[in-house]
Structure 1
Amino acid sequence: MKNISIKHCASAFLMLCFFSANAKDYPVTNASAIAALKLQPGDRIIMKDGDWKNQQIVLKANGTEAQPITLLSEKPGNIISSGNSTLKIDGNYLVVDGLAFADGYSEKDAIITFTKTSDHCRLTNTSIINYNHPDKAFDYKWVSVFGIHNRVDHCAFSGKTHQGTLLVVWLSDQPNYSQIDHNYFGPRPDLGVNGGEIIRIGTSEWSMYDSYAKVEYNIFDQCNGETEIVSIKSGHNIISNNLFYECVGTVTFRHGNNSEVSDNYFIGNKVKNTGGIRIIGENQNVHHNYLQGLTGTGLRAAISLMNAYEKPELNQYWQVKNPNITDNIIVDCKEALEIGSGKDSKRVVPPVNIILEDNVIVNPTKLIVYNENVKDASIKNNKVKGTTSSEDGFESLKTDLVRSSGIYQIKGKEKVPFWLNEHIGPNWKIFMRDIKTD
């Protein structure tokens, strides 16, 4: 059996060498030249310097895990896809690296689309900046992620001023396992209407299906499009280790169940209506987040648990059941916690079976707002400092807090925030500003 194993390994190695030796580089100057290529695993398409205005680029091919097919820019960040240029990624094991979209807008489709048949494809080191339709009510996405096991990483997206979510992970009847990481999401103004999220995972129609998407190590900088910065509309997603900096809105469990928001940083710097985490649905897990200087109240409280409809449709508010809210640090926020937020004549069903334990709250204007009487809740071991408010389940903080890496941390449990040692955004330009905490 050992001889067979060695023989198979040798054969696989020789096959890999064969494909590597036969991989080709194809310099191209327009989208038509890309479409005409007969690509094989390991091939690279190199976008040459020149006029890439009004180019509908389609990368349609099949690479392999060992030999992906790559579309890259000869001058990352300097060759601009402008006018009505778009990109479609269609196939398996495809990589797009170093593109830049600016000075234009789409007339119909998303600027960048991973198709429904895309699998293990990657968009990296790419930017979309101020790619806005002159009609601010015109709705198109900047990035649409269909397919499975696709990744968007080390990109920069900034200045979206027209209607529509910036990046959408679309669902099907199978989990997608999408990964959105190490990206810079720059300022977006308040649209004043719904549909201005930065990231949406799913839709209300697909909200009871599981997604298993991950959103991690991203910076959201003054992303103010609407109340929801990240809108979770599906099951089993993880939003972890992100920075939400002066964002007027919240990370919202809008539809679906069994998702997690953990180890994130919400820095409001007392900007008006900056918010934290809004909980709707069942078995949502909120832990080890840091929230500081948030001024939002009600739906935009640092942590808000909403009331629900009695018999909700898929696009309405479902009851909060079994939320797990533990080990969060909330500092200098106007309203640390609100239970039963959004209560009105229709939203009358209160949260139940709340676990609210081991959180640290410092200098809140309001510690906790009860719009409902809680039932079957475990509210205990929460530590408070800087308020005279007395509530069951909250006691005086005796552990020292220290200021480390610009934020308050529990002494002996300090850690370096990710943005101080992780590279965020494209490697050809620094988009992020200095992160300051008041």
Structure 2
Amino acid sequence: MKKYNTFLFGVFFANCVVFSSCAANNVGKTIEEKEQQAKQVQTNVYTISTAAELNALSLQPGDKVVMKAGEWKSQLINFKAKGSPEKPITLVAETKGAVILSGNSNLKIDGEWLVVEGLSFKNGFSLKDDVVVFTKATSNSRLTNTSIENYNPSDKTIDYKWVSLFGKNNRVDHCSISGKTHQGTTLVVWLDDQPNYHQIDHNYFGPRPDLGVNGGETIRIGTSTYSMNDSYTTVQHNIFDKCNGEMEIISIKSGYNKILNNLFYECVGTVTFRHGNHSEVSNNYLIGNGVASTGGIRIIGESQKVADNYLYKVAGTGLRAAISVMNAYQNPELHEYWQVKNALIENNIIVDAKEALVLGAGKDSKRILAPDGIKIINNYIINPGALLVSQDHATNLVVQNNQVDGASLASGFVKMGSDLQMSDGIWQNKTVLQQPFWLNTEVGPDWKKDNRSFIFR
């Protein structure tokens, strides 16, 4: 019996040794795996003082580059790298807003999954290149929390852009872009033969004076050359404050774009479907306050949608009316005026406009083709100077159930009911009350508070 117990104890001891050894091995493997994982997520943080130091880095996914606070005079920042969805590569200011790119500085974003944050361009101008460029090879990258302010050459005829968006799936957000006085569009989305799906959101576009010439748009999406191509760009939750560069505040020159929930405050110009088809301008606020030549929404092209916008005291007429539907050329070139077909204009609220609706706007010896298949339905129009102006006879026109107060009724218009109520200082449909986005949403850099005052006079 004693020998048997000794035998059992030996077996038990051996098993414990084996078990302990296995457990130790398992723990060892777990530690090794965790160390390996830690190595994989380990990132490098580099602090730099010049563009040359950035160029010397070999950046890997997850790396972070910190630009030291201070003035960076005439520095050409070339941020070239490839991050990943899980581990983007970031280029950030040591203190947001305290990295001042002055002199002839500019920025090139060139790669994949890159983020630039917290820079300030001022006290200078670009010599030849655009101020910020997302290159053609750039995708899934972002410029955020950055400002470009009064970055102008002394010669106002010099034409360059402040932001050029090439590539695919890039984003410009929470930036402040203000005071462009020389020629050239402020921000351009450039197209090729593929959609680019860019996003422009939560930016403050500050005052821009009237140039007196063409080419002063605040945003242009596309070009005449690629105007029949689709972009799928979204412009959302931005403020356009006195952006008066030229007649077109936003010029849509491509297909399938969305201009959603933006504020256009006292802008002497229009949101224009200039070229391309199947785009949408919805849920925007266009506040003219009776300022001369303030405009609304101008429609050209096919299958455009204008819905749920609020237009207040727009003082323009004809091409600058609250909603203007243009005449077209008979056989247009790409850069000319194409016929409006199958436009939908619905659920807009138009208050105290000089001209609420204009059909056949711009009719002349060349623009002879009237709009076709227009639907004007379920809009609300209060105290218009003129309710509906027809400069040409639109074919297949549907005008239905538009409610009017303060004007003589016409076919398709009925007396205003009780659908609307005043909320947050604007007329809104009782069933869909919502606070204007700029009252509860951060727009522009979190480190910079622009001098803004949006009063409805």
Which bracket does the TM-score occupy, shorter chain normalised?
over 0.9
Q: CA deviation at 1:373?
A: 1.5
Change (3 A) 1:17 1:334: farther
Cα displacement string for residues 385-431 of structure 1 (whole angstroms, at most 9, x for unaligned residues): 011x2211001011153221121112343211111111000010111
Name the amino acid aligned to 1:406.
Answer: G
**In structure 2, C-alpha distance between the alignment counterparts of 1:76 and 1:327, rounded to whole Å:** 42
**Aligned with 1:404 (options 414, 419, 423):** 423
Alignment of 1:177-188 (within 5 A): 177-188=197-208
Do structure 1's residue 224 and structure 2's residue 235 form an aligned pair?
no
Normalising by structure 2, what TM-score?
0.91
**In structure 1, C-alpha distance between the alignment counterparts of 2:373 and 2:441, rounded to whole Å:** 37
**In structure 2, C-alpha distance between the alignment counterparts of 1:330 and 1:433, rounded to whole Å:** 24
Alignment of 1:120-269 (within 5 A): 120-269=140-289
Q: CA deviation at 1:12?
A: 11
User: Would the aligned equivalents of 1:237 and 1:260 in 2 still touch at CA under 8 Å?
Assistant: yes
**In structure 1, C-alpha distance between the alignment counterparts of 2:446 and 2:428, rounded to whole Å:** 31
Which segments of 5 or more consecutive residues in structure 1 lack a partner in the other structure?
1-10
User: Would the aligned equivalents of 1:222 and 1:246 in 2 still touch at CA under 8 Å?
Assistant: yes
Q: CA deviation at 1:75?
A: 1.5
Change (3 A) 1:34 1:305: same
Name the amino acid aligned to 1:191.
Answer: L
Q: CA deviation at 1:325?
A: 0.4
Normalising by structure 1, what TM-score?
0.95
Alignment of 1:352-363 (within 5 A): 352-363=372-383
**In structure 1, C-alpha distance between the alignment counterparts of 2:192 and 2:33, rounded to whole Å:** 35
Match of 1:100 in 2: 120
User: Would the aligned equivalents of 1:399 and 1:410 in 2 still touch at CA under 8 Å?
Assistant: no
Alignment of 1:18-167 (within 5 A): 18-21=39-42, 23-167=43-187
User: Would the aligned equivalents of 1:209 and 1:234 in 2 still touch at CA under 8 Å?
Assistant: yes
**In structure 2, C-alpha distance between the alignment counterparts of 1:311 and 1:295, rounded to whole Å:** 32
Q: CA deviation at 1:220?
A: 0.1
**In structure 2, C-alpha distance between the alignment counterparts of 1:110 and 1:311, rounded to whole Å:** 35
Q: CA deviation at 1:327?
A: 0.5
Q: Relative to structure 2, which stretch is displaced further, 372-381 or 409-418?
A: 409-418
**Aligned with 1:334 (options 354, 365, 383):** 354
User: Would the aligned equivalents of 2:409 and 2:415 in 1 still touch at CA under 8 Å?
Assistant: no
Change (3 A) 1:77 1:311: same
Change (3 A) 1:374 1:127: same
Change (3 A) 1:277 1:15: farther
The number of equivalent residue pairs is: 426
Match of 2:22 in 1: none
Name the amino acid aligned to 1:404.
Answer: S
Cα displacement string for residues 254-280 of structure 1 (whole angstroms, at most 9, x for unaligned residues): 000000000000011111111010000
Match of 1:293 in 2: 313
Q: CA deviation at 1:69?
A: 0.2
Name the amino acid aligned to 1:275.
Answer: G
Aligned-residue CA RMSD in angstroms? 1.4
Cα displacement string for residues 194-222 of structure 1 (whole angstroms, at most 9, x for unaligned residues): 00000000000000000000000000000
Query: Kindly, what percent of the aligned residue pairs are identical?
Result: 59
Which segments of 5 or more consecutive residues in structure 2 lack a partner in the other structure?
1-31
Match of 1:415 in 2: 434
**In structure 1, C-alpha distance between the alignment counterparts of 2:200 and 2:33, rounded to whole Å:** 32
Change (3 A) 1:394 1:91: same
Name the amino acid aligned to 2:378.
Answer: D
Provide the secondary structure at the position in 2 that maps to 1:51.
strand
Name the amino acid aligned to 1:169.
Answer: V
